[in-house]
Structure 1
Amino acid sequence: MGIPGRHSGGGADGTALVVVDMINTYDHEDADQLLPSVRAVLPVVVDLLTRAREHDVPVIYVNDNFGEWRSHHGELLQTALAGPHAELVEPVRPDDSSLFVVKARHSIFYETPLAYLLTQLGVGHLVLCGQVTEQCVLYSALDAHIRHIDVTVPTDAVAHIHEPLARAALEMMRRNMGARTVEAKEIDFG
């Protein structure tokens, strides 16, 4: 089953790729547990970004602001690129066509303009990739479900801190929220 591409009409059947919290300094308490998983999923996220951009699918970065309330997305990116793990940020840096939403906590929808943006883009389906599976990705999938937005989670493009919790989170997304959980190679943006 293919995934519909960008829709320019009035309906909400288009798809967007949402990159969750990949612009990161990894300067937090669980970073050492998270980093191996990020390294493993990074090539898959890069491939998803390439394929989405090739098919003119909107790419939306939704990222924590690290408590820097005076920062904008460019400053967040520069801070992450200046940090000790820039090699994890550089390959997924936003391009000029990318959209960027700053969030404060967990869900990509919580206190952000994302729902409005999706309506403006005619998007009713999200492909969620990034981090952390058992936290921000899970909460974002739930908030999408509540808003009647379809979700696909490429299981090999989401990083975790605790693998057993990540497996449980993916199962919850599939069973309780109707999310498609597939390998990234099964996603067809065309």
Structure 2
Amino acid sequence: MGTTAVIVTDMLNPYRHEDAGLLQESVARIVDPLSALIRRASESDESEVLLVYVNDNHGDFSATRDDLVAAARKGERPDLVEPLVPSPDCVFLPKVRHSAFYGTPLEYVLSRAGVEKVVLTGQVTEQCILYTALDAYVRHFSISVPRDAVACIDPELGQAALRMMERNMRAEIVTAGTCLP
């Protein structure tokens, strides 16, 4: 597989929660750059780029990929979901907490593929992306975060999270158009 993994976090969202309105505005700005990045990752040689979706199961421990896709498509903003629906052949891991590593086989998947660098995308910058970055850092992965492919609830906290990842986790803060080999 690859030495770089593009990790798409929590983009299958029905947007029926307390912060949904604030989040939707931010997600609307990242859909185009993120979908272009996903397309480039999908078209890349598997020996160079691995595409991995990690998505919250929203408390439904029996939910499959198809269930999560269907729920997101039936949610408040299917227009934000549709361009980012994972293809049937990409790696898809359900998660239950903030970090994409916590309680998932992500570390094993990345290790088996020989991944050295992770590109973290999706939502929410100041929560799931930040905690995933920390877990990637302590596992000795290089980290890139395309600022135009992560969405936040609170813009101030989102910017602070990017600064924390850059300073404390040595993350490279880039754009979606520049983060793949």
TM-score normalised per structure 1: 0.91
Matched, 1:187 2:179: yes
Residue 155 of structure 2 corresponds to which residue in structure 1? 163
Q: Secondary structure at the match of 2:143?
A: strand
Structure 1 runs of 4+ with >3 Å offset: none
Shift of 1:123: 0.8
Correspondent of 1:114 among 98, 106, 111: 106
Aligned-pair identity (%): 47
Q: Residue type of the partner of 2:44?
A: H
Q: Secondary structure at the match of 1:18?
A: strand
Q: Residue type of the partner of 1:125?
A: K
Q: Residue type of the partner of 2:73?
A: L
Q: Residue type of the partner of 2:173?
A: T
Shift of 1:97: 2.3
Residue 44 of structure 2 corresponds to which residue in structure 1? 55
Shift of 1:58: 1.5
Q: Distance in 1 between matches of 2:159 and 2:19?
A: 18
Q: Secondary structure at the match of 1:123?
A: coil
Residue 144 of structure 2 corresponds to which residue in structure 1? 152
Q: What is the 5 A alignment of 1:88-99? A: 88-99=80-91
Residue 19 of structure 1 corresponds to which residue in structure 2? 8
Residue 65 of structure 1 corresponds to which residue in structure 2? 57
Residue 42 of structure 1 corresponds to which residue in structure 2? 31
Residue 31 of structure 1 corresponds to which residue in structure 2? 20
Q: Point out where structure 2 has 5 or more consecutive residues left out of the alignment.
A: none
Correspondent of 1:124 among 109, 116, 139: 116
Q: Distance in 1 between matches of 2:22 and 2:74?
A: 21
Question: Residues 13-58 of structure 1, C-alpha deviation per residue, up to 9 Å, x if partnerless?
Answer: x001100000111111100111110000010100100111111322
Q: Contact 2:16/2:76 (CA < 8 Å) preserved in 1? A: no
Q: In angstroms, what is the RMSD of aligned CA positions?
A: 1.0
Question: Residues 77-135 of structure 1, C-alpha deviation per residue, up to 9 Å, x if partnerless?
Answer: 11111222111111000112211011001000011110011111111211111000000
Q: Secondary structure at the match of 2:8?
A: strand
Shift of 1:67: 0.3
Deviates more, 1:35-44 or 1:179-188: 179-188
Q: Point out where structure 1 has 5 or more consecutive residues left out of the alignment.
A: 1-5, 8-13
Residue 10 of structure 1 corresponds to which residue in structure 2? none
TM-score normalised per structure 2: 0.95
What count of residue pairs does the alignment treat as equivalent? 178
Matched, 1:77 2:66: no
Q: Contact 2:6/2:119 (CA < 8 Å) preserved in 1? A: yes
Shift of 1:157: 0.6
Q: Secondary structure at the match of 2:17?
A: coil
